[in-house]
């Protein structure tokens, strides 16, 4: 099967490499250049999609996705699948799906969780929105690039699931970090704090699987001087998408809003840029209430 892969950055390149290893014919396009074994390089997105049964996009944001979609949809074969794996706003995902389906294509939005490590290991989770036919066509590809794919509903449902999940993640990481800083100030040993919370009602993925305290719990970016992992600015991107969606849907999300304000400050005014999102712990550690 011929597949076009557009956007071969930190996530796209290892995802495409796994498809090549599984025997798919991949033609790639990225304005930054494509230097990947087994991937045929196209000079434009338009050239990449010629004859492709599936076009996968893995792009930075909704504006870029919409402009790429505008360019390639008219050139795609009828019945082909437009499979967007980027994290973008729900509105862009729905617009692109509508454009694609009205042009006789199938469309699925399928953002991922699992980061660069999951992309390299083929263990991503895909959350997908679109028709059952589109999902069925994408499923064998999800199985190569990931370990789990959930069909969440119609167009945009994948993006909706992704930003709700990541809003929870931003909020629980902030809460976990501030609780560690409070525990420090109360003279509680961090290992004891972990032993109790990780097996009590305060447990979460942030505490149990990605503990923000160095030397405590499983190995995490905290053990590597908070080098990402999942960079604070990517967390901020997803939190902003959650608040944009909440505004559009008139949903009250005060905790998500607070986490967005906190990460904005951390990334834009403090030293959060380029650090893991769990580096909120040293930030809280060094502050008082004032
Ligand atoms: P990246 O910046 O490394 O890659 C994006 C690629 O898109 C770049 O190589 C860039 O050159 C290319 N690009 C830009 N404009 C383009 C265009 N017009 N046509 C074709 N290619 C173009 O970003 P990434 O980390 O690979 O993330 C990609 C998407 O995955 C984002 O939406 C991100 O939010 C999401 N995501 C990232 C992670 C992560 O841990 N990095 C985890 C989950 C989801």
- The minimum-distance atom of ligand 1 relative to the CA of 230 is 40
161/258 Cα distance (integer angstroms): 20
Q: Render pLDDT for 199-215 as a digit per residue (tens, 0 to 9).
A: 999 999 999 999 999 99
DSSP for the chain, written as a single string: -EEEEE--STTHHHHHHHHHHTT-EEEEE-TT----TTEEEPSSHHHHHTT-SEEEE--S-HHHHHHHHHHHGGGSPTT-EEEE-S---HHHHHHHHHHHHHTT-EEEE--EESHHHHHHHT-EEEEEEE-HHHHHHHHHHHHHHEEEEEEEESTTHHHHHHHHHHHHHHHHHHHHHHHHHHHHHTT--HHHHHHHHTTSTT--HHHHTS-SSTTSSS--GGGGTT--SSBHHHHHHHHHHHHHHHHHHT---HHHHHHHHHHHHHHHTSS-TTSBGGGHHHHHHT----
Phi-psi region of 226 (alpha: psi -120 to 50; beta: other; left: phi over 0): left
Q: Are 206 and 172 in contact (CB under 8 A)?
A: yes
pLDDT at 116: 87
pLDDT at 117: 87
pLDDT at 42: 97
Tens-digit pLDDT string for the chain (290 aa): 999 999 999 899 999 999 999 999 999 999 999 889 999 999 999 999 999 999 999 999 999 999 999 999 999 999 999 999 999 999 999 999 999 999 999 999 999 998 888 999 999 999 999 999 999 999 999 999 999 999 999 999 999 999 999 999 999 999 999 999 999 999 999 999 999 999 999 999 999 999 999 999 999 999 999 999 899 999 999 999 999 999 999 999 999 999 999 999 999 999 999 999 999 999 999 999 98
- Which of 139, 148, 162, 192 is the catalytic position? 162
6, 7, 46, 228, best to mutate for ligand 1 pocket (most atoms within 8 Å of CB):
7
Distances in Å between the Cα of 55 and the Cα atoms of 80, 84, 105, 230 are 8, 8, 11, 26
Residue 146, beta-bridge partner list: 124
pLDDT at 290: 80
152/131 Cα distance (integer angstroms): 10
272/275 Cα distance (integer angstroms): 5
Matching residue, tokens 């959060």: 272
Query: What number of other Cβ atoms are within 10 A of residue 234's Cβ?
Result: 18
61/146 Cα distance (integer angstroms): 22
Tokens of 170: 């931003």
Tokens of 128: 């997908």
Instruction: Report the greatest alpha carbon distance in the chain.
Output: 65
Would you say the C-alpha torsion 188, 193, 197, 199 has a positive or negative sign? negative
Q: Cα of 60 to ligand 1 centre, how many Å? A: 4
Closest to 210 (Cα-Cα) out of 224, 201, 220: 220
Q: Cα of 86 to ligand 1 centre, how many Å? A: 7
Q: Cα of 129 to ligand 1 centre, how many Å? A: 19
Residue nearest atom 33 of ligand 1, based on CA coordinates: 87
Residue 185 appears among annotated catalytic residues: no
pLDDT at 153: 98
């Amino acid at each position: 099967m011929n597949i076009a892969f557009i956007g071969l950055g930190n996530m796209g390149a290892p995802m495409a490499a796994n498809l090549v290893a599984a025997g798919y014919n991949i033609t790639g396009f990225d304005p930054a250049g494509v230097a990947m074994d087994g991937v045929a390089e196209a000079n434009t997105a338009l050239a990449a999609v010629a004859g492709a049964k599936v076009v996968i996009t893995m792009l930075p944001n909704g504006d870029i996705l919409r402009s790429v979609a505008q360019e390639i949809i008219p050139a795609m074969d009828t019945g082909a699948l437009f499979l967007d794996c980027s994290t973008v706003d729900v509105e862009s995902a729905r617009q692109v799906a509508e454009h694609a389906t009205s042009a006789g294509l199938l469309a699925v939005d399928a953002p991922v969780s699992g980061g660069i490590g999951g992309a390299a290991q083929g263990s991503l989770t895909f959350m997908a929105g679109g028709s059952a036919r589109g999902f069925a066509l994408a499923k064998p590809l999800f199985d190569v690039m990931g370990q789990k794919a959930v069909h969440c509903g119609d167009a945009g449902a994948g993006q909706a699931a992704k930003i709700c999940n990541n809003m929870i993640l931003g909020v629980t990481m902030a809460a976990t970090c501030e609780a560690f800083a409070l525990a420090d100030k109360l003279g509680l040993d961090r290992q004891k704090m972990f032993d109790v919370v990780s097996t009590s009602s305060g447990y979460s993925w942030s505490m149990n699987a990605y503990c923000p305290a160095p030397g405590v719990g499983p190995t995490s970016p905290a053990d590597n001087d908070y080098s990402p992992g999942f960079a604070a600015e990517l967390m901020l991107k997803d939190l902003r998408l959650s608040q944009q969606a909440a505004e559009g849907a008139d949903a009250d999300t005060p905790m998500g809003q607070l986490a967005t304000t906190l990460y904005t400050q951390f990334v834009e005014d403090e030293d959060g840029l380029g650090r893991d999102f769990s580096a909120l712990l040293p930030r809280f550690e060094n502050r008082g209430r004032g």
